[in-house]
Structure 1
Amino acid sequence: MRVVSWNIHWGCGKDSRIRIHAIIDVLRKLNPDIICLQEVAANHPELEGNANANQFRQLAGAFGGYRSVLEPTSEIYQNNMPRQFGNLLLSKYRITQVHRHSLPWPPDETSPAGMPRGMIEVVVEAPGGKLRVLTTHLEYYSAVQRMAQVKQIKYLHWEACERARLYQPDLSLDAPFQLGFRPGSAIYCGDFNFTPDMPERAEMLATDGSIALQLVDAWSHTHPGSARAPTAGLHGFKWPERPDCYDYFFVTEDLLPRVIDVTVQSETAASDHQPIVLDIA
């Protein structure tokens, strides 16, 4: 099973031109089973390169054999037309549940910029059994908001683990209540907008005994003692000032025996971030 996570920067490469076909070409070569994308745009001509096209539709159409779940966390109307910006998940595997989580956006006087943030959660029927896959893109400008979002993710993870412990499907209930089993086992990925030395990463990994399945940084597990590969800051983009890691896979501890590798595809300049790849048995 292969999962790819990628902040595609609305397909805008280092030459300031949008080439969604270049994003599609990279993804096809990687041949993932699940694709998790951030910074997908629709009807945003003011973005660099003119992101006027509906990229959610373009990307879903390019991977017709996949099931698509979109989450435009930012949706602003102009001339009665929605300008959308957010996350997209595509899965070869059968999806049995979808949950779209809005993440906190507390006011922060020190950082008035920003946008709403969210997280897609799907339950997929993967070869090793049912599994939750979640993708997100956290706040960049405000540490206050970003930490609040991390804490909410940890709460939602606790909630899912506890519901998995308590809940069994009941076919006697009315249809909307027949959600089926939602496991605690999970893969969290995306652009978390924190570097490995920041407190938000420590919070993601913190243990307090209340969560049945602890989260583990999959890169640290597969590359113990190795320097972390940067996921942004390559190929001469204006941001960030130096190469560093902003994109992650966090997996529940029960999946560790199945984790084969985490890699960063550093060659492409189709986005200001690099695709990251999780291979799992």
Structure 2
Amino acid sequence: MQLVTWNTQWCRGLDGVVSPRRIVEGARAMADFDVLCLQEIAQGFDDMPGAPGDQPAELAALLPGFQVFFGAAVDEFDAQGKRQRFGNLIATRLPVARVQHHPLPWPADPSVSSMPRMCTVVTVVDPALGPVRIMTTHLEYYSPTQRLAQVNAVRDLNAEACAQAAAPPKVETERSPFQAKVHTPHAIVCGDFNLVVAPPADLRAAPEYRAIHQAHAHGRLQDTWPLLHGTAPHAPTFRLFDRTYGPEPVTADFVFVSDSLAPRVRRIEVDQQTRASDHQPVLVAL
């Protein structure tokens, strides 16, 4: 399985041009991916820079043979009654067993701007790995309080799913919503976690980074980068070219896997050349 995750900045490049096609082409240049996880996908926000259109529809048209699942963290209407949605998208050519959209905590923090966040979950069936839970998210940038609450929630969602896999619900009937579900301990958790820790600070000291690794009864999540690169610093994924949000490059985008998948990780790399977004895409192969 090959997966690419990318915070697209609503498919807006550093040249100001909004282009879902360029995002898809950039991801394909990294790998012939089976799963594409995108954050900051817009629909109906015509007044944003670059005037993004109906990006879920555009991406679906650009990805024939893929199923596309859009999870809107922001889902509201403007003063004229037009619907506006903004969130995460998972596209896959693998068979899909389940789709779930989980709102994440949004505790009050009046000191900063913020918006709702969510975790989009699609359980796919890979021919070699079997069922795998793909979880993608984009955590709050401005509020450390909200970000830590959200990373704890993502970790707990995975722990709950692992517990369900270990002890599935009793099946009452196969002809109703109570029908048997596909459960799995295998998980890939990816996206923009906004852990903007700049070297030489130790990423492992960040509360959010420690929290996502916290073990539960059925295992834990592991960062894929050190699985293959040891103690080498993470490749930066944010502020390589655009220093609007800070003076130096940082790692904001991660791919974590369950203990059950950690031995299967074969490749993890960052495209540090593309300027199709203000973030860099990350590829993981299992």
Conservation of the 8 A alpha-carbon contact between 1:43 and 1:83: yes
RMSD of equivalent CA atoms? 1.5
CA distance in 1 between partners of 2:248 and 2:170 (Å)? 49
Q: Give the CA deviation at 1:221.
A: 1.0
Q: Give the CA deviation at 1:228.
A: 1.3
Moved more, 131-140 or 229-238: 229-238
Partner of 1:148: 149
Q: Write the letter of the residue equivalent to 1:54.
A: D
Residues 160-208 of structure 1: CA deviation (Å, up to 9, x unaligned): 111111116737344201142211210000001113342101111123x
Moved more, 53-62 or 235-244: 235-244
Conservation of the 8 A alpha-carbon contact between 2:98 and 2:182: no
How many percent of aligned residue pairs carry the same amino acid? 34
Q: Give the CA deviation at 1:257.
A: 1.5
The alignment's TM-score, normalised by the length of structure 1, stands at: 0.94
Partner of 1:180: 181
The reply on whether 1:236 has 2:242 as its aligned counterpart is yes
Q: Give the CA deviation at 1:48.
A: 1.7
SS at match of 1:250: strand
Q: Write the letter of the residue equivalent to 2:237.
A: T
Q: Write the letter of the residue equivalent to 1:3.
A: L
Q: Write the letter of the residue equivalent to 2:206.
A: M
Partner of 1:26: 26
Q: Write the letter of the residue equivalent to 1:198.
A: A
User: Structure 1: 5+ residue runs without aligned partners?
Assistant: none
Conservation of the 8 A alpha-carbon contact between 2:190 and 2:253: yes
The aligned length equals: 276
Instruction: Map 1:95-110; keep pairs closer than 5 Å.
Output: 95-110=96-111
Q: Write the letter of the residue equivalent to 1:206.
A: Q
CA change 1:58–1:240 in 2 (3 A) is farther
Moved more, 165-174 or 198-207: 165-174
Q: Give the CA deviation at 1:19.
A: 2.1
CA distance in 1 between partners of 2:166 and 2:214 (Å)? 21
Partner of 1:250: 256
CA change 1:260–1:169 in 2 (3 A) is farther
Conservation of the 8 A alpha-carbon contact between 2:185 and 2:260: no
CA distance in 2 between partners of 1:144 and 1:26 (Å)? 34
Moved more, 84-93 or 40-49: 40-49
Partner of 2:200: none
The alignment's TM-score, normalised by the length of structure 2, stands at: 0.92
